[in-house]
Structure 1
Amino acid sequence: MRIVHTSDWHLGRTFHGVDLLADQRRALSHLAELVAAESADAVIVAGDVYDRSVPSADAVRAYDEGLAEIAAAGARIIVTSGNHDSPTRLGAGSAFAAAGGLHLRTSIEGIAEPIVLSDEHGEVAVYGIPYLEPDTARRHLGVEEVCGHTAVLDAAMTRIRADLASRQARSIVVAHAFVSGAAASGSERSISVGGVETVPAETFSGADYVALGHLHSPQRVTDTVRYSGSLLPYSFGERTHRKAVWVVDLDADGVGDIRKHELPVVRELSSLRGTLDELLTSEQFAGAEDHYVEVTLTDAVRPLDAMRRLRERFPCAVHVQWDRPHTGSGVDYRSRVRGRSDAEIINSFIEDVRDTPTKGERVLIERALRAVVGEPEADGELALFALDAFVAETA
């Protein structure tokens, strides 16, 4: 039997305000093409189908279309809920959907009720553990005290092992959790409870293969405990990731072979650094013109309207920040302000965050400081001079 392990679709997610549904649809089409090419019997989605508990109509439509493509490619589909999903909404119509080959496991009550698949070697029992919020799940699982995820997952696995002991079957467990030894990428939402979110891989002992979701980088915890990662990169910290799924072959004794299949890149991510003029003209950045781009500007003076100008060359630029070249002495703040007047400190601050204050601005600063300390202005001359200076500088 051949299983494709995937997770963390996050349908409806935006990337720095950019709608990713078109990219996500393309990724799901690639997944359906893989299913057809590999003649896969089933596809596992280990949680976080959606990016929010109440998904948009467009996200639901993309989900429906993706499922239809995968089913048309010949695979049954097994879906569990993640911490981003609403178990009730995702699991709606589960009994009816199962008749069409879509198996939804979103409730605690269904943890020990496997989806049973068959091949020439016999049965394969697939157990789906939805994301378990410890404080809520412990009451249903009979856990008296809990300070993290390990206790509730232990209780869930106790139920699964009890059911598995009554069967002559190979087994797959699908779960959405943070397992010790794996590495987060930064775009996952924390599932910590009181600082305790990780569970040991041994929690899932007894299963032939454990298909994990939650972490966005494809990775191996043990030979048979793995994360598939997300379909797309969801942060610039993931720009070096090659997104993938695991293709798992089961033989008569359990897992026979596991292969990583890298997914096609829908749109690459690039982090660029330089002055605005360099970024707009240099050939060294030509390869990033159709990428999602974040830019760090190094101009001595913050450029005006930088994002609009950057998008003339990089239409998918999504984030820009300014990192003015450091001109300080490197001494600590206390040393830098010792012996300096308030006006000098303020002028220095403006220079650090923007550029050197103009003559008119310096006069206005002096006037503001006089007002704060209650010093009178002689016959209004300082106020008039400040106004004249400001008008002259900004005209």
Structure 2
Amino acid sequence: MTGRVFHTSDWHLGRQIGRHRRDAEFDAVLAEIVDIAADFAPDLIVHSGDLFDGPRPSLDDIRRAAHALRRLGDIAPVVVVAGNHDTRYVLGHLEYFLNDMGHRPDDQVRVRFATDARPGGLLLTEFPASGGELTLRVGTLPYLHPNRFTYDFADPAAATATYAERIRAVQADVHRRLAAGRGPRDLLIFAAHLFVEGATPSYSERPVSIGSDYAVAAEDLPGVDYGALGHIHQPQRVGRAGFPARYAGSPLQLDFGETRDTKSVVLAELAPGKEPRITLEPLTGGRRLVHLTGSLEEIAQRADRVGDAWVKAVVNVEGPTVFLPEALAKLLPRATIVDIEERRPGAAVQVLDRATSVADLPGVDELMREYLPGRGTAGVALDHVMATFADLQAEPDPAEPVPCCEETLLTAAIAGEAFDGVDRAGLLIGDETAGAEERR
């Protein structure tokens, strides 16, 4: 007896490569995901977050998501966890449409969305498996931004806690509710969108969301039979979790930091008291991202291995090359060249340190004397211009009023400096004597 879980994540529908949309790739890889799911015949399908790439997806991307989720829902019940790129309002509307605009009874709902992490809004649900002999109990945790704790959780005791401490408490609450009344034939699934400490990011994730302040300790994850995690785009197992937990990763290579990633979905077969069987099924529906570096001759030697791909090229050249884009396009006829960078010997700009810049940078006078001869001013005329320029520099700035004599005296007195041969004590004595004479 086994419970079969199909795990996918981080579709990021709407993601582009520069100005290029990737609709055909998304359509191909989503069709591939549906076909793999149909062959696997799971009891449950989990999408662990970031259905869309942005909070305001286009109508085409919403239609694309609805079509794929409806097809997956025809295969098995689907649970979608909100990621940091998703909004609960968009996912709420999508759920409404998928469930026949609210007319479908709860026991016939095939796609459910977890968008609320508050105790009263947590999605905790269960599904039969292995012909009803097992039960898959699912506890979900959508992405929780630190700011949401302020609005969604009113516990004053947590006001000064770190993000890791707060998320640990939420995870513990999910697990407590999930495990309550657990029977011997119940299998627990934890589906969450978060960054686990030690996971290897692809850096196509938002940098702020994978910082150390957002990291969750692996040992703090609730002990379950399988952890279906989302947020990190490189497929990987989570070590030190104490139970099988995996990031399914994104179905496409999302940027040039993922050129070495093999994309996949996770097929998990779970049984009470036994080690799970985890299989990664590769995805091939997307175009590869290829980073080419070298001279045109060196790139030409590798061109036949590039094929249909997105290409970012760094080309070593001796000087400016007018027809470089055309030359690359001829070498790579099936590829889409996203970016070309020319790298020339000696073209790099030297970064000066403070000492060098102060010592070596010419003054304004020197720059003027070097510049004017090239504009036809030389000889006596140049000397006259430079003398006039020196006079202008010496004139006081009208925007800066000249201090009066009293201000000058006061400034000198405060600084303890001599002024016209009289020290501060003398100034003060002279002032006092003058005052005494006037009073007489």
In 1, are the aligned partners of 2:139 and 2:175 still within 8 Å (CA)? no
Q: SS state of the match for residue 50, structure 1?
A: coil
How does 1:64-213 map onto structure 2 within 5 Å?
A: 64-72=66-74, 74-92=75-93, 93=95, 96=102, 99-109=108-118, 112-120=122-130, 121-143=133-155, 144-146=158-160, 148-163=162-177, 164-168=179-183, 169-192=186-209, 196-213=213-230
User: What's 2:15 paired with?
Assistant: 13
Q: Which residue of 1 aligns with 2:345?
A: 325
From 196, 207, 216, the counterpart of 2:233: 216
Contact 2:12 2:52 in 1 (8 A): yes
Q: 5+ unaligned residues in a row in structure 2: which ranges?
A: 387-440
Distance in 2 of aligned mates of 1:318 and 1:300? 22
- C-alpha separation between the residues in 1 aligned to 2:373 and 2:261? 50
Alignment correspondent of 1:232 = 252
CA RMSD of aligned residues (A): 3.5
**Do residues 37 (structure 1) and 39 (structure 2) align?**
yes
Q: Relative to structure 1, is the Cα distance of residues 89 and 328 closer, same or farther in structure 2, using a 3 angstrom cutoff?
A: closer
Checking the alignment, whether the CA contact within 8 Å between 1:128 and 1:174 is kept in structure 2 is yes
How many pairs were matched up? 356
- CA drift of 1:195 comes to 5.3
Are 1:147 and 1:193, in contact at CA under 8 Å, matched by a contact in 2?
no
Distance 1:154 1:25 in 2: 37
8 Å CA contact 1:134, 1:146 repeated in 2: no
Q: Residue 213 of structure 2 aligns to a residue in which SS?
A: coil
Identity of aligned residues (%): 27
Per-residue CA deviation, residues 93-152 of structure 1 (Å, 9 max, x unaligned), is: 457476331011111246544121112443221112111112213543344225653233
Q: How far 1:217 moved relative to its partner?
A: 0.4
Q: Deviations over 1:51-86 (max 9, x none)?
A: 0001001111111121133234x1221101100011
Letter in structure 2 aligned against 1:154: R
Q: What runs of 5+ residues in structure 1 fail to find an aligned partner? A: 347-361, 378-395
Larger radius of gyration: 2
CA distance in 2, matches of 1:141, 1:52: 25
CA distance in 2, matches of 1:375, 1:2: 91
Note if contact 1:11-1:24 (Cα within 8 Å) is conserved in structure 2.
yes
CA contact (8 A) 1:138 1:146 kept: no
Deviations 1:214-257 (A, max 9, x none): 11001111351211110101111111110112111111336521
Asked if 2 retains the 8 angstrom alpha-carbon contact of 1:45 and 1:79, the reply is: yes
For 1:364 and 1:287, locate their aligned partners in 2 and report how far apart those are by CA, in whole Å. 56
SS in 2 for 1:125: strand
Who is 1:354 aligned against? none
Please say which of residues 58-67 and 311-320 is displaced more in the overlay. Answer: 311-320
TM superposition shift of 1:202: 2.0
Pair 1:262-2:282 in alignment: yes
Change (3 A) 1:274 1:131: same
- AA of the residue aligned to 2:147: D
**55, 60, 64: which one pairs with 1:53?**
55
Counterpart in the other structure of 2:408: none
Does 209-218 or 192-201 show the bigger shift?
Answer: 192-201
1:284-328 Cα offsets, whole Å, 9 max, x none, are 312214211000021122323543553344341111112212378
Q: Secondary structure at the match of 2:192?
A: strand
Match of 1:290 among 293, 308, 321: 308
Give the counterpart letter for 2:129 in structure 1.
D
Cα deviations by residue, 1:11-30 (Å, 9 ceiling, x for unpaired): 01101221012101111111
Cα deviations across residues 322-358 of structure 1 (Å, max 9, x unaligned)? Answer: 2212378999677699779799x99xxxxxxxxxxxx
Q: Distance in 2 between matches of 1:271 and 1:227?
A: 25
**Native 8 Å contact 2:9 2:230 kept in 1:** yes
Q: In structure 2, what is the Cα distance between the partners aligned to 1:36 and 1:275? A: 47
Supply the distance in 2 between the matched residues of 1:255 and 1:111 (Cα, whole angstroms): 32
For the 8 Å contact 2:202–2:232, the answer to whether it is kept is yes
Match of 1:322, SS?
A: strand
Contact kept, 8 Å, 1:111 with 1:129, in 2: the verdict is: no
Deviation, structure 1 residue 278: 5.9
Shift in alpha-carbon separation, 1:114–1:327, aligned structure 2, 3 A? closer
Q: Give distance in 1, aligned partners of 2:350 and 2:371.
A: 29
Using the size of structure 2 for normalisation, the TM-score is 0.71
State the distance in 2 between where 1:48 and 1:123 align: 27
Distance 1:146 1:260, change over 3 A: farther
TM-score, with length taken from structure 1: 0.79
